[in-house]
Structure 1
Amino acid sequence: MPPFEVPEGDPFGPHNLPYGVFSRAGSQERTVGVRLGDHVLDAGAAAVALGSPYAALLARPTLNPLLAAGRTAWSDVRRALTAWVTVPSHQETIAPFLHPLSSVTLRLPFEVADYVDFYASENHARNVGQIFRPDAEDSLTPNWKHLPIGYHGRSGTVVVSGTDVVRPSGQRKAPGDPAPVFGPSVRLDIEAEVGFVVGVPSRLGRPVALEDFREHVFGLCLLNDWSARDIQAWEYVPLGPFLGKSFATSVSAWITPLDALEEARVAPPERTHPLLPYLDDSEEEPGGYDLRISVAINGHVVSEPPFSTMYWTAAQQLAHMTVNGASLRTGDLYGSGTVSGAEPAQRGSLLELTWNGREPLELPDGKRTFLEDGDVVTLSAWAPGANGVRVGLGEVTGRIVAD
């Protein structure tokens, strides 16, 4: 089928057009690409050939110049790209710049500046609380309904989908052990998340308000924040996640612009506690997103977490992240935190799916409590679009390898 003749209902049709970075076969040169069906358009080469004023943003080895250009440019570029792939008079010109996905290598789409990970799913937080504090009167910590809990992670270990994940080593100590031991993690886990990519920076000392979310955030991607639960359990008191989380964070190769997700916007769950003014979104446009995530281990689906259940929205997370005056940089990435629904089959981590290893998963290739070497984890997702057409969010995959 010719590249322009995308089948009706294809989740990567002209209604989507997510951005990535790729290299052609036999080359290490990187360039911005836009996905159309099962092809990728060399957006920079197409812009040059068409004499587009956006060539300076698209003929680059990373998305960062486009990210920094701002919302007006994002919308203008998206309109131009839509015309290039749908208007017949453009097709002869850009046809040579469409390459089969199977023939290219997808790269990390942007240079990651800072990385923050949140804890925004009430279902996930309650599950974790019940696992580790079963006798507590409330499974949530006292601050949970008042602010989006998060921590600053390590941007240098954010990797693109398809990158192998080396099993991390570190200290671990089981409750009954007399002393800690050192070695590879034996409780390696996943966290099914959504990542938000910042485009426009902010000034140090100037918080970003809820209503300015879409002026700063370009789009979103799928994110798997791998976790070594045994290392994390020993080290995290009192300062929180460190080596148990910093060894790898995988992101999908495609960044879906927020403009492609207008039909997927939904109201977040009902708030049960009054919010301080900087977080109060009761008068704001709907801040949630209806994203349908699927988690598979070795090709077998083990969970389908719904992002629409997330208590804290991406706009609230951005507002809280900057309310102390912390500045944004182009390429900042922040994760939603593990996405878990109310049902057992909607949990976004093995910690929850196996209830801390006490209830192993039955997979076609054997039981699992936590990940084994050779396991391949794939997160995929879609969102509802106009007229019932799905908006594909691609996938993020990683294979566990021994140290």
Structure 2
Amino acid sequence: MSEFKKGWRVLTASLLGVACGASPLPFNVLPLVMGPIHTEYGWDFAAIAGGVTIFGIIASLLAPLYGSMADRFGVRPVAIGSLIGFIIVFAAFWFVPGSLPGWWAFWAVLGLIGIGSTPVTWSRAVSMWFAKNRGLALGIMLIGTSLAAIIVPKVAVAAIGYGGWRLAFPIVALFPLLIALPVALLWFREPRADERPAGVTDAQGQLIGLSLRQAMRGHRFWVLILSILLIALAYGGAHIHMAQIVALHGFTPVDAASVLGVVALGILAGRVLVGLLFDRFWAPGIAFPAMLLPAIAAYLLVGNTAGLSVIMTGGFLLGFAAGAESDVIAFLAARYFGMASYGAIYGALYMPFGIGSAISPILYGVVRDRTGSYDLMLMAAVAMFAIGGALLLTLGRYPQLGAEDAHAG
């Protein structure tokens, strides 16, 4: 508990930073504005979802750069600077022109600026404050996305009802402006050398771990890349199109917002429970069964006659997997590769997560536009969840790392 006594302020700031950053907010607003935008402009769902695809690909490609900057210059200026940029650009969606190129351009700018306000940065600080309780601490930090998913859809629905879909963006941008930014300015920082827990540094105070180049030479890095990509391809579009999936089963936008809230509860449960178990057991052995749950969820969502309770169950299981997957990236990056180049390595592992999450909504949208339902994509997701989870079992034992590893070879 001494780690929590020392690091609770940074953990709180990181939780709020994650909750109000570029990771959850766009993905919780877009599902609710897709319908109104389609009605107003007649754009197909794949084209509308293409905005978040552009955002995700650009942000993911820049994730290693932002991570390397955090390694080199410190995580505080990178995270806070990106958060400020994200606030400005997200609020500016009020001014999106009524054309697809204009819509896509706004998402591109958001990707250029916002990636530093995601777990790519916040998790570096948390991982440096916590070692024995790292899984639980990262799980608590990532609860931020659950909080966003519980609160933001309801706020966005109210904003849309009051002033149209454009109003949802500046209203939601008030969350990072009024909550996350002030707390980050007060409390967010890396630990000093004397504050770092055992397991983060060696006896000489040097950070333990591999360089990005060394990590890429081993099979574990590429196993994680493939596993993360498959799971992101399966999940990202299911979340973005959840409101439409619910509608195809005959339910209202208010019901859809409730389902997204249940997804958020699943994310919360997955992050806390899986993070706690990661600290006590071999993490891949926990992650594999966790990834089988969304395979069941995708199957439950097939068709158009499921009851609301079945859809709620599917949403919860999908959320549980999303919570576990985020823990997998952050925890295993630190556990298998160390902290010496954590930002760069996490950023590289975030690339398939971000790109997969960005492409997935397009795939779901294309299937919907061409077949009238999401069933084919949901069945493909069943297989991708199962294979992605099984790949983690090949990672093997945790390695013993030293500070000299980052400078060797």
Q: TM-score, normalised by structure 1?
A: 0.25
Q: Which has the higher helix share?
A: 2
Higher alpha-carbon Rg: 1
Higher relative contact order (CA 8 A, sep 6+): 2
